[in-house]
Amino acid sequence: MGAQQPSRGPAPHGHVTLTQVAERAGVSAQSVSNALNNPDRLAPATLERILATVAELGYEPNLSARALRNRSSRLIAFKVRPSRPDKASLLMDEFLYALNASAVAAGYHLILCHAEGDGGADEIKAYRDLLKKTSVDAFVLAETHRNDDRVAALRSWGVPFATFGRSWDGDDTLAWVDVDGRAGTRAATEHVAAQGHRRIGHLGWPPESEIGQERREGWLEACRARGLETDLQAAVPDTLEHGRQAAHRMLDAPRPATAVVCASDTLALGVLRALHERGMRPGAEVAVTGFDDSPTAALVSPGLTTLRQPIDVVGRQLIQAVENLIAGEPREPQHVLLQPELIVRGSSLPGPRTPAP
């Protein structure tokens, strides 16, 4: 456990050592190893006693860091998540490709994990199942959050890992790479303000999302710096339908929004859907910006102004981070905060063309 993780009684993820098993069973460490790897070298009674102790203590030999380090598999594990039909943020597809390209360039391969649910417990179980079956050198985790159980689990097993997403607990011992959502949203807000918009709304996620909070802060900072009101804001789940409904509310307000800065491309596409339903033109009548530069952003008409994450660099830096950890380099864990790039398209510009009536 890291310095930030207070001890909470017995380690929750079975961090039992071979030595502890040997002591409890009253045998040598070599005998425990034999029981697991060369059982025919032991007397049946001894074997039975050791295996009973292994079961009692819940010792899991494949989960120990030493075992992992001693037989390098050149495999790095990553959990893929399902793409959801109502979400534009298929950044993970691009991310996976970039991460794998960097892994292969460094002499590794990615091995994929699968977890049914969205929760940390399912993901931890998937990691555990993988480690029982396969030798893995390191893990890469995506979408960190506060009190991230996955971080605690991998730590308790002694497995090297790095995360796409900073430590929201202020844990300096975590190796992470992240993108500055606050700066990105500030840039998007400043961009629409520069087009003359004064009623700029923000469409973001509920406060539980640390990423969403950061993005909202960027909008707040930009508005305050220009003396603009910040009454037009909504916090909704990240779906097109929620974005659509929230946009209608902002456009029905007594002094309606003329620009909507969104925490994701998905929400921004919901705003575009609302404008389509009202027969209003994006850009020309209401400016809209997203976040992520998902493939859809370039494919809709007009194109969606958004923030591009430097996914290739994220992938490279994460592989570099786990390489350093695998090598046991004594330096400090890497913390890399990258800047997103504002990609301006028609959805936030007045546009030269007046459509036919």
DSSP 149-169: HHHHHHHHHT--EEEES--TT
Pattern 298-327, binding to a second copy, x per CB under 8 A? xxxxx-------------------------
132 lies in the site for a second copy, by CB under 8 A = no
Judged by CB under 8 A, the chain residues 60 through 99 that form the site for a second copy are 73-75, 80-83, 85-88, 90, 92-94, 96-97
- Dihedral angle sign, alpha carbons of residues 351, 352, 354, 355: negative
Cβ(23)–Cβ(29) under 8 Å? no
CA–CA separation, 338 and 151 (whole Å): 22
Judged by CB under 8 A, the chain residues 187 through 226 that form the site for a second copy are none
Q: Name the DSSP letter for residue 237.
A: -
279 lies in the site for a second copy, by CB under 8 A = yes
Pairing of strands 233-235, 176-179: unpaired
Instruction: Find the helix or strand (DSSP H, E) in which 330 lies.
Output: none
CA–CA separation, 243 and 265 (whole Å): 10
Least distance from a second copy to the Cβ atom of residue 133, Å: 6
Query: Which window, 25-33, 192-200, 225-233, 297-305, contacts a second copy (CB under 8 A)?
Result: 297-305
Query: Which window, 16-24, 170-178, 316-324, 347-355, contacts a second copy (CB under 8 A)?
Result: 347-355
Q: Which residues contact 93 (CB under 8 A, 6 or more apart)?
A: 83
Tokens of 123: 């993901």
104 lies in the site for a second copy, by CB under 8 A = yes
Q: How far apart are the first and last CA of the chain?
A: 66
Whichever of 60 and 210 has its CB closer to a second copy, that residue is: 60
Question: What totals of helices (H) and strands (E) does the chain contain, helices first?
Answer: 13, 12
288 lies in the site for a second copy, by CB under 8 A = no
**From the list 41, 66, 114, 146, which residue makes contact with a second copy (rule: CB under 8 A)?**
114
Least distance from a second copy to the Cβ atom of residue 116, Å: 8
Number of chain residues interacting with a second copy (CB under 8 A)? 54
112 lies in the site for a second copy, by CB under 8 A = yes
Judged by CB under 8 A, the chain residues 134 through 153 that form the site for a second copy are 134
Tokens of 142: 């995506």
CA–CA separation, 316 and 320 (whole Å): 6
**From the list 209, 296, 305, 317, which residue makes contact with a second copy (rule: CB under 8 A)?**
296
Footprint of a second copy on this chain (CB under 8 A)? Answer: 73-75, 80-83, 85-88, 90, 92-94, 96-97, 100-101, 103-104, 109-114, 126, 130, 133-134, 240, 266, 269, 272-273, 275-280, 295-296, 298-302, 353-357
